[in-house]
Structure 1
C-alpha cells in the first residue's frame, strides 16, 4: 500500500471510529430483527407437546416442526408482529407450549386469545413475522 493510500485509509478510519464505537444509550429502544415469517393460524389448546395444559385464554403458541426442534424451545417466549390493513403494526408475546406439524416453516399456530390480539378469528389466517425473545 502506498504512503498516500495509507494516510487516506488512516484518516478515514479516524473519522469512522467514533460512529462505530458509539454505544446505544441505556433504555433506548432497539428494534429486534424478525428471524421468521409465515402464516398465523389458531387452534383450540389443551395438553401440548411440551407436556403442559393450557386454556384458550392463555397467550400460547405451537411452532412449526423445524422451529419446535424436538421441544428445544418449550417455555420460551416469542414476539410476533403483524401489519394491519391500514398499515399499523400490532405486536404481542406468547409462550411456546406445542408443536404444529401441519404448519409450514416459519408459520405459527396461536391460541384463540393470542390470535385475537391481532385479528378476528373469522379471518382465519394472517401474515406475520416473529422471533424468539432473549
Structure 2
C-alpha cells in the first residue's frame, strides 16, 4: 500500500470512528423505559455538564446520573442533544430537558431543578419516590 493509501485509510478511520461511537452511545439511551427511582432537587447556577449556563433556581431542567453519560467530554454527550426526562409523581407529569450530570446519583436517582421539583411536590420533602424515563425532545 502506498503512503497516500495508508494516509487516506487513517483519515477515513479518524472520521468514521467518532461517528460510529456517537451513534452507539445515543442508541444506548434507554428511551421510553420507565425507571422507578427518586428525585431530589438543586438550585445552583453555573455551567452544566452540557456546556451551557444553567440556573437550577429558576430554570426547568434535570441532572441525570453519571452512569448514563457515555463520553469523556460531557459537552459532546448524546444526552445533551435533544433528550429530556419525563417525570411522574402523585398523578403529575412534567418533561424537563437534560442539561446537567449528577455525579453522586445512583442509576434511578435524578436531581431536578427547584422549579421542576416544585411542580411535583413541596420542596420541603427534599426527596420523593417517582417514575421517570428518557424521551426525545
- Band of TM-score, shorter chain: 0.5 to 0.7
**For residues 55-94 of structure 1, what are the structure 2 equivalents within 5 Å?**
55=55, 56-70=57-71, 71-75=77-81, 76-83=83-90, 89-94=91-96
Kindly name which structure, 1 or 2, has the bigger radius of gyration based on alpha carbons.
1
Gap runs ≥5 in structure 2: 1-30, 72-76
Structure with greater strand percent:
2
- Runs of 4+ in structure 1 deviating by more than 6 angstroms, as ranges, are none
Query: Which whole-Å deviations, capped at 9, do the CAs of 1:2-58 have from their partners, x for residues lacking one?
Result: xxxxxxxxxxxxxxxxxxxxxxxxxxxxxx954222110011232111111122221
Q: How much is the aligned-residue C-alpha RMSD, in angstroms?
A: 1.8
Structure with greater helix percent:
2
User: How many correspondences in the alignment?
Assistant: 98
2:58–2:114: 8 Å Cα contact kept in structure 1? yes
TM-score by length of structure 1 reads 0.66
Query: Which whole-Å deviations, capped at 9, do the CAs of 1:51-78 have from their partners, x for residues lacking one?
Result: 1112222110000111233432114111
**For residues 10-89 of structure 1, what are the structure 2 equivalents within 5 Å?**
34-46=33-45, 47-55=47-55, 56-70=57-71, 71-75=77-81, 76-83=83-90, 89=91
TM-score by length of structure 2 reads 0.65
Gap runs ≥5 in structure 1: 1-31, 84-88
